[in-house]
Structure 1
């Protein structure tokens, strides 16, 4: 059995005095720091409370705790260049495919999106392939806006005005199955067999990356373009074994020399950054703007201030494809922190340098469907 550290684990939150950091999120960081074997907890500027553990945190420990990563193992954000003759949001929004309907390896064997699959499907998990999921997951057609570092952007093949697909999705039900297999026996306790957990975990991480490629390919073909390889693909829900220590990331992206897309909201730019975080930040950076309202609060406040139609057109002029009215309110831009503040905190603390922004044109959440179709999707398990 692991023994409690003689010296308490340290906690550092990389946020400025004017940043929106809830006390509950900081309290969760300290609760995690009290776990056996914990060494250091680094809170990112998008830190907010989660179910049992903070979101927007990187947690280093000599003990592996599956619950710190949660069920969406392998969730991440990828950026794919895309070439289109004209980018008219109103026309392109109508051409997005139904990304709630999964690709079936047998039924849809002729779908051209399968060309991105090389080798076997990780873990043999065929359920939910090519689906985006719910919550804060999305597929977005965006254009490169401000370029802060021409040379770095050029190395990625990007320039101002270029179009990209930004895909934020995870392992769907695969990661949930892996976590449930642990919690049904051990609850929130440590992994009894870290190697076995990590083997399943690694399959889910690979599955999530494959799914982002499938999603991008499905959209590219629907818009009349050819799929491309991602220029960025970083997972922000995973365990990394680093120097013999388990580094748990929950809503925190690898920051050790990687390029990371820090997602804004559907109504603000996102930021592509060059990450260079050190050991004090557990080699991690923020993964997005981070919620400042619970879903219930966002729904209640949003309905008092906005109509559904107002939320379908964003402050930057982009369109939102979302047939789930409740989700429109829950994921409204006002439910999130200011992305400019998050990026400013990363820069101020020396964790990352901005390379360019991406500005939304069309953000896809879930297809424009009637209530009966939505109910059918949820019944079939594709509503995560």
Structure 2
């Protein structure tokens, strides 16, 4: 009996029908069905499949809303509640807060540096020292008035930029460039917001200037700031549009909404659970839907955290630009794309929930990171409706952190490695070891073959910063 037949029988014993055709798993149980794009060389995890089917089965207990379609990309693996790499569509008046969780608008941001590897390599140690201080040792000065935060939450990113002063980090920032770069942030303009959903600390008028301890922080887990080198141009037209050539150094930033996301996400997961009617059995998955006006309120609250996540990545980018300026200059730096993978976006008349999946609309750039020892890709979306206009947000984990901790740590500055990991926590170097992730090659190939994306530029890691 082959591997597929054994897998099929194992799932059948627990009530899940499984079929595999043309690189796609079709799964269903007595409640829902879903589709998973996954090469047969990569493992299909039982827990992730069950989570996906539970995600696909979410519905309002009064019949006011339900999931319309569910699918998953090749970075598919189990999450806390919903599986990572999953996408579900719901009607416009129905949302599932726990599907997004607390890391709202976690996104990946790609910047050019305006410098090439042969220019930066002689100054590597100085740059690493500066960035270590800025990104990991809290050597940053980011004053923001409560008025600017209120403008961010009530009016949006443009009003936030207008409200920034000229002290601290902002003395180095090109605000005209920041305004232009708003157009390269996928989905940002669609987020609503209202300051009434924000934590009180950001709104108190007695804090004329609030030095938020979370703003400009990378976060734990798989979040990072990474210097990368353009290794190969795969689509010269897309690379020209992005302003990238082989040998260029770029900066990739992966971070989210930090404490603001936790505040909003937890509050609305609790509220969705509290709305569940008495006497009706609670879903074992922990996924509760909100319908009607409450769905709209959630999207406004989510927008507050999503806007904050954007501001957090802006600060991280400006910290990098400030330090680059001291070394080789940063006038030529510009944003290529900022693309989310943990958010609800209104698209095609539906609410598209992406849990660790990325928008990949036709002609738009998307980013698919590998690991700190593997390549990352800039890709162009092809707008596949079958996959809800999405692609993967990375390679995806293949080992849980508990298993990875058993690995022998390798030295980040080992001369045999072409990449370097800078972290103040040794366990992060172990948990995020390249062995913990799927190989990026099959993940990209599967999505190109299925028509989700077209690879544009391959980027190799040079120096990775992890908190």
* 1:92 corresponds to: 127
State the superposition RMSD in angstroms. 2.4
Matched, 1:75 2:106: yes
Q: CA deviation at 1:28?
A: 1.0
* 2:77 corresponds to: 48
Matches within 5 A, 1:204-353: 204-224=305-325, 225-226=329-330, 228-257=333-362, 258-300=364-406, 302=407, 305-307=408-410, 310-313=411-414, 317-353=418-454
Q: CA deviation at 1:183?
A: 2.4
Are residues 145 and 61 of structure 1, via their aligned partners in 2, closer, same or farther at CA, if it must alter by over 3 Å?
same
Counterpart-to-counterpart distance in 2, 1:315 and 1:70:
39
Bigger radius of gyration, 1 or 2? 2
Are residues 315 and 281 of structure 1, via their aligned partners in 2, closer, same or farther at CA, if it must alter by over 3 Å?
farther
**Do the aligned residues in 1 keep the contact of 2:109 with 2:313 (CA within 8 Å)?**
yes
Q: In the alignment, which of 65, 88, 93 is matched to residue 59 of structure 1?
A: 88
Counterpart-to-counterpart distance in 2, 1:179 and 1:272:
29
Counterpart-to-counterpart distance in 1, 2:74 and 2:214:
32
Counterpart-to-counterpart distance in 2, 1:177 and 1:317:
39
Q: CA deviation at 1:172?
A: 0.7
Q: CA deviation at 1:272?
A: 0.8
Are residues 178 and 95 of structure 1, via their aligned partners in 2, closer, same or farther at CA, if it must alter by over 3 Å?
same
Q: CA deviation at 1:182?
A: 1.4
Question: Please, what TM-score do these two structures have when normalized by structure 1?
Answer: 0.86
**Do the aligned residues in 1 keep the contact of 2:97 with 2:272 (CA within 8 Å)?**
no
TM-superposition CA deviations, 1:218-253 (whole Å, max 9, x none):
012113232633111101111012233211001100
* 2:214 corresponds to: 128
* 2:44 corresponds to: 21
TM-superposition CA deviations, 1:156-200 (whole Å, max 9, x none):
111111111111111111111111111233334223511111112
TM-superposition CA deviations, 1:134-155 (whole Å, max 9, x none):
1111111111111011121001
* 1:148 corresponds to: 234
TM-superposition CA deviations, 1:22-78 (whole Å, max 9, x none):
221112111111111011111100001001110111111232001001111111101
Q: CA deviation at 1:98?
A: 3.0
Are residues 263 and 314 of structure 1, via their aligned partners in 2, closer, same or farther at CA, if it must alter by over 3 Å?
farther
Q: Partner of 2:398: helix, strand, or coil?
A: coil
Are residues 313 and 345 of structure 1, via their aligned partners in 2, closer, same or farther at CA, if it must alter by over 3 Å?
farther
**Do the aligned residues in 2 keep the contact of 1:271 with 1:357 (CA within 8 Å)?**
yes
Q: CA deviation at 1:254?
A: 0.1
Counterpart-to-counterpart distance in 2, 1:219 and 1:23:
41
Q: In the alignment, which of 128, 144, 149 is matched to residue 105 of structure 1?
A: 144
Q: Partner of 2:381: helix, strand, or coil?
A: strand
Question: Please, what TM-score do these two structures have when normalized by structure 2?
Answer: 0.71
How many aligned residue pairs are there? 354
Q: Partner of 1:241: helix, strand, or coil?
A: strand
Q: Partner of 1:21: helix, strand, or coil?
A: coil
